[in-house]
């Protein structure tokens, strides 16, 4: 479980540090966009009041608190799951990514009322209208890792 804690801690810290850097230090909240390596990597300020792709993004206080509660329940559920059914090193790392990312977005909702999304990537004639952040990457990678690296192993073939 130490691995879950440390991966979660560093994920959370990286997420919050990049958001502080981009939102406050680079002042993306006022500039709204900064081209880094167009069109591949751009910084585009987007306040996400909902979930993925802005779904449930009505910006109401009730939605904000429901989404905070859901993220905390998911983080707690992941910790409970990996304690109950130890997944191995990669599964613990995946759980840490998911927990750290979820908590990073919870802090955004508490501080700003919305999640600060800022990474925008496009390629090959496709212009991506959406932005995301380090926490989103971590939650996605963590969920994918939990699918790959957890679950019951098959019983030995010579077992009764």
User: How confident is the model over 58-117, as pLDDT tens digits?
Assistant: 667 888 899 999 999 999 999 999 999 999 999 999 999 999 999 999 999 999 999 999
Host domain of residue 88: 1-125+142-150
Q: Measured between alpha carbons, how far is 68 from 62 in angstroms, rounded to an integer?
A: 10
Please say if the pLDDT value at position 124 is more than 90.
no
pTM: 0.86
Identify which of 142, 117, 144 has the alpha carbon closest to the alpha carbon of residue 131.
117
Q: Is residue 135 part of a domain?
A: no
Residues classed as catalytic: 117, 136
Structural domains counted in the chain = 1
**What pairing do the DSSP bridges indicate for beta strands 115-120 and 41-48?**
antiparallel
Strand partners, 123: 126
Q: Is residue 31 part of a domain?
A: yes
pLDDT at position 58 is 65
């Amino acid at each position: 479980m130490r691995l879950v804690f440390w991966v979660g801690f560093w994920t959370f810290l990286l997420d919050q540090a990049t958001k502080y850097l981009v939102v406050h230090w680079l002042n993306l909240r006022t500039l709204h966009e900064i081209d880094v390596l167009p069109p591949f990597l751009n910084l585009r300020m987007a306040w996400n009041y909902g979930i993925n792709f802005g779904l449930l993004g009505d910006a109401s206080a009730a939605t904000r608190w429901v989404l905070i509660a859901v993220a905390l329940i998911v983080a707690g559920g992941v910790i409970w799951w990996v304690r109950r059914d130890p997944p191995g090193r990669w599964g613990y790392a995946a759980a840490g990514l998911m927990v750290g990312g979820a908590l990073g977005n919870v802090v955004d909702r508490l501080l700003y009322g919305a999640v600060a999304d800022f990474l925008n990537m496009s390629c090959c004639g496709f212009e991506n209208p959406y932005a995301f952040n380090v926490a989103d990457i971590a939650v996605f990678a963590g969920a994918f890792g939990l699918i790959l690296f957890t679950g019951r192993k098959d019983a030995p073939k010579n077992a009764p």
